[in-house]
Amino acid sequence: MTPERLYLFDTTLRDGQQTQGVQFSATEKAQIARALDALGVDYIEGGWPGANPTDSEFFRAAPQTRATLTAFGMTARIGRSAQNDDVLAAVLDAQTPAVCLVGKTHDFHVTTALGATLDENLAAISASIAHTVAKGRETLFDAEHFFDGYRANPAYALACLKAAHTAGARWIVLCDTNGGTLPEEVGRITAEVIAAGIPGSHLGIHCHDDTGNAVANSLAAVLAGARQIQGTLNGLGERCGNANLTTLIPTLLLKEPFASRLHTGVTPQALAGLTRTSRLLDDILNRVPLRSAPYVGASAFAHKAGLHASAILKDPSTYEHIDPGLVGNARLIPMSNQAGQSNLRARLSAAGIEVAPGDPRLARILDSIKEREDQGYAYDGAQASFELLARRELDLCPEFFEVKRYRVTVERRKNKYNQMVSLSEAVVVVKLGDKKVMSVSDSMDETGHDRGPVNALAKALAKDLGPYQAAIDDMKLVDFKVRITQGGTEATTRVIIDSEDGQGHRWSTVGVSPNIVDASFEALLDAITWKLIRDQGQPVPR
Amino acid sequence: MTPERLYLFDTTLRDGQQTQGVQFSATEKAQIARALDALGVDYIEGGWPGANPTDSEFFRAAPQTRATLTAFGMTARIGRSAQNDDVLAAVLDAQTPAVCLVGKTHDFHVTTALGATLDENLAAISASIAHTVAKGRETLFDAEHFFDGYRANPAYALACLKAAHTAGARWIVLCDTNGGTLPEEVGRITAEVIAAGIPGSHLGIHCHDDTGNAVANSLAAVLAGARQIQGTLNGLGERCGNANLTTLIPTLLLKEPFASRLHTGVTPQALAGLTRTSRLLDDILNRVPLRSAPYVGASAFAHKAGLHASAILKDPSTYEHIDPGLVGNARLIPMSNQAGQSNLRARLSAAGIEVAPGDPRLARILDSIKEREDQGYAYDGAQASFELLARRELDLCPEFFEVKRYRVTVERRKNKYNQMVSLSEAVVVVKLGDKKVMSVSDSMDETGHDRGPVNALAKALAKDLGPYQAAIDDMKLVDFKVRITQGGTEATTRVIIDSEDGQGHRWSTVGVSPNIVDASFEALLDAITWKLIRDQGQPVPR
């Protein structure tokens, strides 16, 4: 049996933009479109040309993609002809090969939201689809509120689909706009639509996650015969988000009954880039990646339970449903005071440190982790600081330099132009071997703006580290996360710093203190020390 | 038709504890158990007595609950009798009315992970269940890796279930331990188990979210006849988490075919506390609540698209699948430069500010939001700062005081006992009417620990605000979130401060600057100003 083609339609740039807190620039949209294209989706919905300046700007200079670039819009407004609707004209003006028009299919919405008669809406659907088809565009019809509409008035909802189909729409997309429909009903209604005469090869499914079933609903529609899935990367989207393509793609490629019966445009090589693509989107949006995300989350293959971790060491398939490498993810044995010594040895080994089973220092490391986690430290997400802690217990942590003291001042006042300006200044005293070095720095950047006390401290510290200067020159701080947490009985501050070097390697360190500057400085020192160990191994003898 | 009883089994305190980064104390476990009991779940699995000190401590002083408190453990180890297994004895020692024992049902795991014969494992299941039943405990059998086992060797997997059932287990729980099974297969296999002779009234389902289908898998098993669901609050759990009870409960209570055919121990009143319960868990764990969480997320009823927001104003059911009040959540019209003027008016109205449609100041506010969002501000999550921004444009923001300048110093050095200690000190100059007030403060707390520069600034600022002193006395900073973000072309820092007053009201404010102290100070000033407006309305005349 030849596998049937299943089409993937991505709407990260349109419906994903409705996520609370998300605001793409046109440049970011182009960057995401290129990543989607490399992943192998079939359609990229870029936005609604004419609805806002960003979307119009994106379409004016859209990247060349193998995927079919699609402009979103809506059926002509009641009382205007499709030819004379300026909103629809703006959509066509984007000159995309495909156009996706949303229209009403739920009688209640036609009368309440549009204030139109049922026949007027049917006529608007027919005329709008016929118009875009006549303009040579591959046309999709997004049947808004279809499942609610079908429950309320199945004959009318089907009549809307048939109007679009007859007018020449390539795809009729069944939308669960409010996200309230459950998988069994999505499967049953999709099958009924096919039985009513719209072929599955022309049917798409568009789900939202308001009951946590967007993925399952999409799969149910495909099992019933639909051959296009609409969704977004990382499940972005209005309210609870859209069907998560980052989750659906590996399921469709790796799991039965989908893997052998269907094929998509995503290759195994592209699938291995899925975790990276997911992180890229979070980077662009400056969102903390969801650790528990299926397939691509940092915890998706993390084995915290001691029994699981020891079985994994015998055979990974004991507690992993797929090989994490297939989606570009990796196994993780997180460190925490839940973990046993076998976890710890596995994680040390991953850092290149071999310790024999039963070595008494393993228990000391576990105790030390427990004690520091009680103070507010978190080593699950700060691998480099964990490694340094273990090295200190194992006497494998050389002291490259010692910070004797520091002082940092932030001052905010009016300048001579009567503007409020800030100035940060730091003094750091470091002992390098038997030499004491005192360095001072402000935190002014090239544009004359003050970057704050942590930056001033980092610059003062990095100003003269003698023989280690070269090794830290390509380091930069790429993320800085602060949480108020509980340390003993007192609220304290936990800072996690992500650093990156010139080769794009990233590492995370943690600092804890009630004083945010102290906590930051501690994480900063760990970040530098970790890099010196990696690059130099040992202090320069003097 | 009388609705059948469906039982809810919560394992937040056991499987939920396997979440990466989660570490409950015994006190926190008791607090969560009480919240679960108030919600109305039937079983609370408290942990594994004997496996770690926290779990043992929890069971020693477990709270009285209406729900059946359950201790987790495993079937007797191969080579020991159930009577002589000290691990099993520790589980029974917890003296809970119910015991849940996990055992192998997948032949591969029996031979690989246990290193036992298939018959030895069957005997261990029978003997262990018979032993706990003989001790008078309601006994549950967690059939580990059941779906994988059934796929590989259905006869053996079923034989394991029957051994437990025959030995007297009240519940046989089908576990998708690795989380790789899809809903259709869960439904089909559950139906086959019932056909093979284990009644649905004795069957439970335990799913993990590795394919994003834990909720759908649980529903599929219930549709097939299973009458117990195991899950966790907020979907905590190993790897991608367990089936999310916070999502499942409203679906089971509010959606067909479940609502009319089944009933649970959760009342409509308890359901209205669901959002609060979900937040309580995040508070205890110090996790940022997931905005997009179904039903309870802050974005679950947020309408960002302009068209959606205007339809919602006509009739909320146009874009809401349920009334948010049923789960204790609320509708939100977030502010962002996507939003139109109708969004803005609705949100201003919610803050008690009425502006007529078409008022030109609405456009000015939208422009100002857009400009500031370009600089890195985020108003979706900082309602109080949004309100102040709007008030400034509308000339409704009184100036209570003006900060003329400040200076803050953090110094870290050795004290006379040769310990490294920090000291922060702030000077703030404030103009109150025509009076200039200069205040200084360190940030030492009662225990002599330094709390850092933001604390020192807050204390100096609050030291003498004259007539406004009383209004800010009950304010405290309860959360402090920092993100590096993009402001124009430069990385900048965004601080969001959550403040709380004596009555438990919470409000959020935002500050942006490359300098973290400046950004914090800006958010702090907004927090104070917002409270003064709420409590006093106008500055005291002088």
Question: Which has more confidence, A330 or B234?
Answer: B234
Q: Which of A235, A405, A410 sits opposite B515 (nearest CB)?
A: A410
**H-helix or E-strand containing B409?**
strand B402-414
**Where in chain A are the domains?**
4-266, 402-536
Distance from CA of A2 to the nearest CA of B (A): 23
pLDDT tens column, B378-395: 887 788 999 999 999 999
Is the CB of B480 less than 8 angstroms away from the CB of A486? no
The predicted pLDDT at position A488 comes to 47
Q: Is A303 part of the contact surface with chain B (CB cutoff 8 Å)?
A: yes
Specify the pLDDT at position B488.
47
Query: In 10 A of CB B386, how many CB atoms?
Result: 28
Q: Could you tell me where the beta strands, DSSP code E, fall in B127-227? A: 138-144, 171-175, 203-206
Mean model confidence pLDDT for chain B: 91
Report residue B307: phi and psi, to 5°: -65, -40
Taking the Cβ of residue A439 and every Cβ of chain B, the question of whether any pair is shorter than 8 Å is answered with no
CA distance B305 to B296: 20
Helix (H, G, I), strand (E, B) or coil at B97: coil
Predicted confidence at residue B45, as pLDDT, reads 98
Return the CATH superfamily for domain B4-266. Answer: Aldolase class I (3.20.20.70)
Phi, psi values for residue B92, rounded to 5°:
-65, -35
A319 contact residues in B (CB cutoff 8 A) = 177-178
Interface A:B, Cβ pairs < 8 A: 339
H or E element that contains A403: strand A402-414
Integer Cα distance of B251 and B258 in angstroms? 8
Answer yes or no: are the C-beta atoms of A343 and A386 closer than 8 Å.
no
Characterize A4-33 residue by residue with b for buried, 16 or more Cβ atoms within 10 angstroms of its Cβ, and e for exposed: eebbbbbbbbbbbbbbbbbbbebebbbbbb
- Are A183 and B185 in contact by the 8 Å Cβ rule? The answer is no
Number of Cβ within 10 Å of residue A452's Cβ equals 26
Q: Is the CB of residue A301 less than 8 Å from the CB of residue A320?
A: yes
Q: Is the alpha carbon torsion for B284, B289, B295, B298 positive or negative? A: positive
CATH topology agreement for domains A4-266 and A402-536: no
Closest by alpha carbon to A529, among A403, A341, A423? A403
Contact A338 B52 (CB under 8 A): yes
Residue A22, pLDDT score = 85
Q: What is the pLDDT of residue B337?
A: 44
- Please choose, from the candidates B209, B17, B177, B217, the residue with its C-alpha nearest in 3D space to the C-alpha of residue A318: B177
> Which chain B residues are within 8 Å of A17, Cβ to Cβ?
338
Residue of B164, B118, B168 whose CA lies nearest to B142:
B164
- pLDDT at position A462 is 86
pLDDT (mean) for B440-462: 89
- State residue A279 phi and psi, 5-degree precision: -65, -35
Mean pLDDT to the nearest integer, B343-349: 85
* pLDDT band at residue B363 under the 50/70/90 scheme: confident
Taking contacts as CB-CB distances below 8 angstroms, the residues of chain A near B411 are: 405-408
Nearest CA distance, A528 vs chain B (angstrom)? 19
C-beta atoms of B247 and A481 within 8 A: no
Q: Could you tell me which residue, B313 or B403, shows the higher pLDDT? A: B403
Q: What pLDDT does A366 receive?
A: 87
> pLDDT at position B226, please?
98
Residue with tokens 């985020």: B378
Chain B hits for A241, CB-CB cut-off 8 Å, are 292
In this model, does residue B2 exceed pLDDT 90? no
Q: What is the pLDDT of residue B150?
A: 98
The answer to which of A254-268, A343-357, B126-140, B173-187 has the lowest mean pLDDT is: A343-357
C-alpha count within 13 angstroms, C-beta hemisphere, residue A472 = 23
- Token readout for B488 is 């124009």
Residues 6+ positions from B392 with CB-CB distance below 8 Å: none
Residue B205 amino acid letter: I
Which residue has 């010692």 as its token pair?
A402
C-beta atoms surrounding B411 within 10 Å? 17
Q: Which residue do the tokens 């437990």 mark?
A: B164
Q: How far apart are CA A258 and CA A251, in angstroms?
A: 8
Distance in Å from the first CA to the final CA of chain B: 73
Fold of A402-536: Double Stranded RNA Binding Domain (3.30.160)
Minimal Cα distance from B514: which residue of A?
Answer: A451
Question: What per-residue confidence (pLDDT) applies to A339?
Answer: 56
ipTM, 2 decimals?
0.79
Low-confidence ranges of chain A (pLDDT < 70): 1, 286, 334-339, 485-491, 540-542
